[in-house]
A and B are shown apart, each in its own frame.
Chain A
Amino acid sequence: MGEVKVLESGESGFATTRFEALLAWARKYSLFQYPFATACCGMEFFSVASSRYDIARFGAEAPRFSPRQADLLWVVGTISQRQAPVLKRIYEQMTDPKWVIAFGTCAACGGFYDNYTTVPGCDKLIPVDVYIPGCPPRPEAVFDALILLQEKISNGNREPATVPPRELEGLSQLRKKVNA
C-alpha cells in the first residue's frame, strides 16, 4: 500500500496515496461550517442554507457554533474594528485543518465602507481561501465558491482564489468581440 502520510493543512501538493485522496474526499464533502454572520450577507446566507438553494446537497449544511468543532469559517458581512479581535480569536480557536471563505464584498475588501470603523477585508486579520464578491453575492456565486473550495481541498491547494462571475452568453461573446 505504500507509506501512509497524513497531509498537513499547510502543505500543497497532490494526494499521493489513496489514503490521502480518501481523506481529502471526506473532508471536502463534510465541511462543518462556522457562520460568523454579522451583516446583510447573513440574509443571503440564510437563503443559501434553506430549501431552494440547498447547501446540504454539498454536505456543508451542519453549522457548528463552537470553533473547536468547525472546519470552515464563513466570514459573512462587514468586520468592524471592534469586531476584529473577536474574529481573530475565533480563527485561532479553530483546529486544523481549517479553511476560510470571505463571503461578500465587505468581508473581502471592506466594501464601500471606507471609513474609520471598518476593517478593509477580513484578510487583514486572517488568511482567506476563497473570496466571494457581491453585495450580497447571489447564492449561485456562493455555490461556485463552495465547489471551488472543495476542488482546492482535494488538490491541497492553499492559494487564495476569487470566485469569477458567471457570464451571460451574450456578454462573453461581446467580450471576445471587443478584445479580438
Chain B
Amino acid sequence: MEPIEDELSDEGALELPSEPMRLNMGPSHPAMHGTIRMVLDLDGETVQALDIQPGYLHRGFEKSCERGNWQQVFPYADRLNYVSPMLNNNGYAAAVEKLLGITVPERGEYYRVILGELARISDHLTCNGAGAMELGAFTPFLWMLKLRDFIWDILEEETGARMTHSFARIGGMAMEPTENLRRNIEELVPKFEKTLQECEATILRNRIFLDRLEGIGILTKEHALDMGVTGVMLRSTGIDYDVRKAHPYSVYDRFDFEVPVGHDGDNYDRFLCRAEEMRQSLRIIRQAVQQMPTDGPVSVADVRVVMPEKMNVYNTIEGTIAHFKLVMEGIKVPAGEVYSFSEAGNGELGFYLVSDGSGTPYRVRCRPPCWFNLNAAHDMLVGGMIADIIPTFGSVNMIGGECDR
C-alpha cells in the first residue's frame, strides 16, 4: 500500500464541519454553583465564543429593600452571599452606620470580626471543596464540609442559626457573645489544621489535579483592574488589594495577618490563595478572641438607633416611646448618599445607600464583587476547552444570590 499523500484536498477529501456548534450549558447544571446559563460556541472542544447569562436568581433585593425599614434589610442582605452571610451583614450595618455617623463600641466590632472571619472561612471551604469535587476529588469535599459544620456549630451557638443569621444590627450586634465562644474557638483550631492538612496532602500533589488547575483560566493584571475585579481573583493575579489592609475598617488594623497574593492568575493560584486566606482568617479570629474586652456593650447606647432593653420598654415611658418609634417608623437616617465597602468573601462588597431622611431606605445598591468577577471570567474562558470551564468557573466562586441580587 502506498502511503497517504498530503494533498488530499482536491477530490474525495473528507470535509469536516467548520461551523461552530452551539451548546447550552443551562441554568440547572451539575457544576452546582447556583444557576448560570452559558451559551457556548464550540469548535470541537475549544470554546470560541461564550455568552454568560446571569440573572436566573434575580430576587429583587434592591426593590425589596425600599419596602420596609433600614433594619428590615438585614435578612435580604444575609442572602446575598449566602455562604458567608455575616460578612454581608457587617458590610450593610457599617454602611448605615457611616450614613448615621455613629461608631460601634469596641466589643461589638471585635464580635463582628470574629463572626465575619468564621463566615469567610466557611465561604472558602465551600469554594475549594466544591471545586475539588467537580474535578473528581470527592473526599476533600466531605472533609471540608465536615469542618464547615464545626464552624456552623459555633455560629449556631452564637447567633441561633447555622446560616443566614441576620445577627448584625445597625449600631452593633443583636446579642452579646456567649461564654463558650472562646472555648469553642480554641477547640476548633486543631480540627481546622488537621482537616486542611489532610485535604492538601490528598490533592495538592496529585498530577491530574494540578494539570487541571495550573495554567488554566489566566487573568492578567490590567484586565482585572479594568473589569473591576476584586478579592481573591485580583490577588491571584499579583495585585495586592485587600480592603482590610488598604482601607482598614472596623478593628482590622489591630491584627497581625498577611494577605496571600498569587502571581499567575490561574486557577491554581486562586485555590492556594483561598487555602492560605483561611489560615490567616483563623489567625485573626484567635487574636480577636484574645483582644476582645470581656465586658462592655456590644451596641451603641443610642435609643434612636438601637432598641432599648426590654425592662426599660415595659417600665419606663421613654423606653416605650423609643421602641415604638423604632418599630413603627424605623431608624431616621439623615438624608444623604454614601458608599461603604468592606472585604466580603469574594472581594469588595460595596453598599451605595441613598437616604431621604425617613425610616425607609430610598435606594440600597449592593455592589456585588462576583458580578464583576464573572464579567472578567468571560475572557478567562474563551479560548479554553469545555473541560476547563468547570475548574475556572468554580474558582470564580460565583454565588448566585450576590451576583443576581
Name 14 A/B residue pairs within 8 A (Cβ), A-sorted.
A38-B35, A38-B56, A38-B400, A40-B82, A42-B34, A50-B145, A50-B149, A52-B146, A65-B29, A78-B57, A112-B75, A115-B59, A117-B59, A118-B60
The contact string, 1 if C-beta is below 8 Å from chain B, for chain A 28-40, is: 0000000111111
Which residues from chain B contact A43 at a C-beta distance below 8 Å?
Answer: 82-83, 126, 163
User: Could you tell me the distance between the alpha carbons of A1 and B261 in the complex, rounded to whole angstroms?
Assistant: 72
Is B145 a contact partner of A47 (Cβ separation < 8 A)?
yes
Is B28 a contact partner of A115 (Cβ separation < 8 A)?
no
A179 within 8 A of B: no
Is B56 a contact partner of A80 (Cβ separation < 8 A)?
yes
B64 within 8 A of A: yes
The contact string, 1 if C-beta is below 8 Å from chain A, for chain B 81-99, is: 0110000000000000000
Is A115 a contact partner of B64 (Cβ separation < 8 A)?
yes
Q: Which of B121-177 contact A (CB under 8 A)?
A: 126, 130, 141-143, 145-146, 148-149, 152, 162-164
A14 within 8 A of B: no
CB-based nearest B residue for A113:
B59
Which residues from chain A contact B79 at a C-beta distance below 8 Å?
Answer: 39-40
Is A113 a contact partner of B57 (Cβ separation < 8 A)?
no
Given contacts A43-B83, A50-B146, 5 further A-B contacts (CB under 8 A): A39-B82, A47-B162, A87-B28, A115-B60, A117-B59
Please judge, given known A-B contacts A40-B163, A42-B34, whether A80 and B58 are in contact too, CB under 8 Å.
yes
CB-based nearest A residue for B64:
A115
Between B35, B142, B152, the greatest number of chain A beta carbons within 10 A of the residue's beta carbon is seen for B35
Nearest CB of chain B from residue A70's CB, rounded to whole Å: 11
Please judge, given known A-B contacts A50-B141, A50-B146, whether A37 and B32 are in contact too, CB under 8 Å.
yes
Is A117 a contact partner of B60 (Cβ separation < 8 A)?
yes
Interface size on B, residues (CB 8 A): 36
CB-based nearest A residue for B53:
A82
The contact string, 1 if C-beta is below 8 Å from chain B, for chain A 78-91, is: 10101100110010
User: Could you tell me the distance between the alpha carbons of A132 and B35 in the complex, rounded to whole angstroms?
Assistant: 21
Q: Which of A119-149 contact B (CB under 8 A)?
A: 135-136, 138
Which of the residues B26, B32, B142 comes within 8 Å of A50, measured between beta carbons?
B142
Residues of A within 8 A of B (CB): 35-40, 42-44, 46-47, 50-52, 63, 65, 77-78, 80, 82-83, 86-87, 90, 112-118, 135-136, 138
Which residues from chain A contact B75 at a C-beta distance below 8 Å?
Answer: 112
User: Could you tell me the distance between the alpha carbons of A43 and B141 in the complex, rounded to whole angstroms?
Assistant: 13
Please judge, given known A-B contacts A38-B34, A51-B145, whether A82 and B162 are in contact too, CB under 8 Å.
no
CB-based nearest B residue for A80:
B58
Which residues from chain B contact A42 at a C-beta distance below 8 Å?
Answer: 32, 34
CB-based nearest A residue for B82:
A40
Nearest CB of chain B from residue A48's CB, rounded to whole Å: 10
Which residues from chain A contact B162 at a C-beta distance below 8 Å?
Answer: 44, 47, 136, 138
Q: Which of B373-405 contact A (CB under 8 A)?
A: 400-401
Which of the residues A39, A52, A112 comes within 8 Å of B57, measured between beta carbons?
A39
